[in-house]
Amino acid sequence: MSSSTLCLRCLKRSLVPLESSLPSTAVQRATFSTSSSLAVNPPKKKAVGAKPTARSGKSLKLAKNTRTATARPPAPGERKALRKRVVLSNTNALEVHGLKDLSKESVSKLREHEGRVLGLSNDSVDALRALEAFKPNQGWSLFRRPATLVRKETVELAEMMSNVKETQKVDRRVLAGEKGSGKSVLQLQAMTMAYLQGWIVMHFPEAKEMTIAHEAYQPVKLEDGSTGYIQPQYTAHLLSNFAKANHGLLNNLRLSKEPKLPVPVQSNITLLRFAELGATDAELAWPVWQALWAELLAPSQPSKEGLHRPPIFVSLDGLEYIMRDSAYLSAEAHPMHSHDLLLARDFVKLLSGSTSLPNGGSVLAASSASNRPSVPTLDFFLNRNHLETCNKSYNAIVDRLAQQIPKLKNPAELDLTELDNLPPNSLPQYFLSRLDTLKSRVRDSKDVAQLSRLLKDRNPAALQEWNPYLPIDSRVAETMKPSDSRDKGAAVVGTPVQKLAGLSKTEARGIMEYYAQSGMLRQTVTEGLVSERWSLSGEGVVGELEKGSVRARF
């Protein structure tokens, strides 16, 4: 009996669940659940103690370094105006006594002043400032008043202008050269001489600003059905500069025919008031520009009052920027060539000769060597046309020697003074070497017949042609080497290119003496000092010469 009771007791214990043996405070879990036991009754967080009381007494309390802008923000265009600000006087510099001005009388005999520094008169300075011909990096702020060196190229430009005024021809050329060689200053000198001689002067100060998409533009339909693009605000700005610079001359000229404008205009209005009309209203700027150029390019009528048309001088700085694609987009959202901008197209036609100047004049473009974009087609034609220009100069020298042959009885009678006195920077070294070889052979010739054969040497430099396997910008090629379709039978002549080299030692001495008289060069100008600075400046590069003589301190 007892044994059976014991067995029943054991059996009863075995049927009790295991969880029942746990204490009553334990967490009950279902056998089918996988959740954590802590999810039912999470543990309580520990109580956070009270913050410690602050120490009594004085303590250093530093405020946050908050910077508040008390000054007003710069107005629109204020930073650009400050960046382009030109200072033309330095009151700390000494007054150069005996400094003559570049005047109308001195332009006609400028060769007498070659190698000297001439000042600019107040009227010329006002006109040049209106045309934005001065640049901030040209060193005008170092001296008492604006003055410029008369170099060999300046004399050549003055003689060219005198010839143009007499013959009413058109001189077209491009100035090239390395950085600091004086291209922009030579262009400024040409503008000054044109202004003094009573020419109409138009200047595009920076072609870069015309093409970098900083100006508003809009499409217009042209007569041939194509689409061109105008820049109303930029055109109004150019008209404003043009009216200020040519104020006295335009005030004596009037319209010869009624222009086609959306507003009525007085029939006998002066060209000054007409230009100011387009300068004050951007909507009228482009029609006024077209009508104004039609008037200036009309044949002169000296017998009628106000219809006399003087020669025109047109110049542009930064030629590379209008010889490539601009930053603007066309109406089809394609990159737009700079020649599609009608302002740039007007200048390009003048430079290539497509637009004639019936009253004579000069078209002068200057390339840029600082911050210069890559324009392979233009670079090729600049080098090619420069060699073509040098060939012409070489041929002219040989022709003048050959003209003496009919009068000679003996080769020793040939006058070689021109070859002996040839300036060292007048031609590239290759052409100078050819002339030296020719001079030695001429002196060794035994009879006039042999001398005549020697002087038949022409075109020493072979002109290269464009690689046909490379893409070419046909618009730039047409500008720099126009087709002969306008003059049947004539030889294809490209736009002349003049490369500026360094100053001669005589010219370098002249400008260094001006530095010393202004108090900016504190050394005695001797032959040794001139030779030293001339060599260190890359054989007379005027920009480097100024840096080494005036700006640098040893």
Mean pLDDT of the region 278-307: 92
Residues 161 and 110 in one domain: yes
Task: State the burial class of residue 156 (Cβ atoms within 10 Å of its Cβ: 0-12, 13-18, 19+).
Answer: middle
Task: Assess if residue 168 is contained within a domain.
Answer: yes
> How far apart (Å, rounded) are the C-alpha atoms in residues 540 and 147?
19
Mean pLDDT of the region 265-275: 91
End-of-domain residue from the set 373, 403, 423: 373
pTM for this prediction = 0.82
Percent of the chain, pLDDT > 90? Answer: 54
Residues 387 and 517 in one domain: no
Q: Which residues contact 95 (CB under 8 A, 6 or more apart)?
A: 144
Q: What pLDDT, in 10s, does the model give residues 365-382? A: 999 888 889 999 999 999
Q: What pLDDT, in 10s, does the model give residues 139-164? A: 899 999 999 999 999 999 999 999 99
Nearest by Cα to 336 from 478, 219, 480: 219
Mean pLDDT of the region 122-143: 93
Q: What pLDDT, in 10s, does the model give residues 167-182? A: 889 999 999 999 999 9
pLDDT grade for 7, boundaries at 50, 70 and 90: low
Dihedral of the CA atoms 199, 194, 288, 326 (nearest 10)?
150
Mean pLDDT of the region 259-270: 88
End-of-domain residue from the set 304, 338, 373: 373
State whether residue 245 is helix, strand or coil: helix
Residues 196 and 324 in one domain: yes
Task: State the burial class of residue 160 (Cβ atoms within 10 Å of its Cβ: 0-12, 13-18, 19+).
Answer: middle
pLDDT grade for 45, boundaries at 50, 70 and 90: low
Residues 446 and 511 in one domain: no
pLDDT given at position 34: 54
Task: Assess if residue 246 is contained within a domain.
Answer: yes
Mean pLDDT of all residues belonging to the chain: 86
Residues 439 and 542 in one domain: no
- The structural domain count of the chain equals 3
User: Which residue is it, tokens 């031609």?
Assistant: 427
DSSP string for residues in 73-132? PPPTTHHHHHHT------TTSPP-TTPPB--HHHHHTGGGGTTSEEE--HHHHHHHHHTT
End-of-domain residue from the set 464, 491, 516: 464
pLDDT given at position 208: 93
Task: Assess if residue 341 is contained within a domain.
Answer: yes
Q: What pLDDT, in 10s, does the model give residues 175-230? A: 999 999 999 999 999 999 999 999 999 999 999 999 999 999 999 999 888 999 99
Mean pLDDT of the region 236-246: 96
> How far apart (Å, rounded) are the C-alpha atoms in residues 273 and 247?
10
Comparing 9-23, 35-49, 133-147, 535-549, the range with the smallest average pLDDT is 9-23
Q: If you average pLDDT over each of 56-60, 78-82, 281-285, which comes out highest?
A: 281-285
Residues 176 and 310 in one domain: yes
> How far apart (Å, rounded) are the C-alpha atoms in residues 65 and 463?
69
Instruction: Check pLDDT > 80 for residue 43.
Output: no
Q: Domain residues for 182?
A: 89-217+241-250+296-373
Dihedral of the CA atoms 224, 225, 230, 232 (nearest 10)?
100
Percent of the chain, pLDDT > 70? Answer: 86
Decide if 296 contacts 309 (C-beta within 8 A): yes
Task: Assess if residue 75 is contained within a domain.
Answer: no
Residues 193 and 128 in one domain: yes
pLDDT given at position 364: 96
pLDDT given at position 489: 41
Do the bridges between strand 117-119 and strand 147-149 make them parallel or antiparallel, or are there none, so unpaired? antiparallel
Task: Assess if residue 229 is contained within a domain.
Answer: no
pLDDT given at position 21: 47
More confident residue, 248 or 551: 248
Buried b (16+ CB within 10 A) or exposed e, 330-369: eeeeeebbbbbbbbbbbbbebbbbebebebbbbbbbbbbe
Mean pLDDT of the region 537-542: 91
Nearest by Cα to 543 from 182, 176, 86, 177: 182
Comparing 50-59, 114-123, 136-145, the range with the smallest average pLDDT is 50-59
Domain harbouring 156, CATH code: 3.40.50
State whether residue 219 is helix, strand or coil: strand
